Amino acid sequence: MLHRRTSLTLAIVAGLILAIPLAAHAFAPAKNPNTITETMGIFDPVTLAGKQLKPGTYVVTADDTKVTFTLNSKVVAEAAAQWKDAADKARYSAILATDGKVKEIHFAGKTRYLEISN
């Protein structure tokens, strides 16, 4: 009798352990399918929305209306942006700056690019 009760208890505990990650996934916020995340390097200091970006490797995340630069898991700059259509797909990802200010961000393999709103 004790063996049967122990087996039943273990089965219930195992079921709960398996159910918790599934429940967490079901209630997690949905990701925007239009969000693009890419790792990009900056080789010279530039500014984005008044924030100075030093040379380094950043995680660049773009959604429908803004772009975010993250360094070492910390958001260091964010700016409003607009998607524009390009004539061809970008061959590589690139951050384009004029006079030290980020103006455009192109993503490899995409025909659209981001124009930074100033």
CA dihedral (38, 44, 47, 51) positive or negative: positive
Q: What is the pLDDT of residues 24-83, one digit of tens each?
A: 444 444 466 779 999 999 999 999 999 999 999 999 999 999 999 999 999 999 999 999
Is pLDDT of 5 > 60?
no
Could you tell me how many helices (H) and strands (E) the chain has, helices first?
Answer: 1, 9
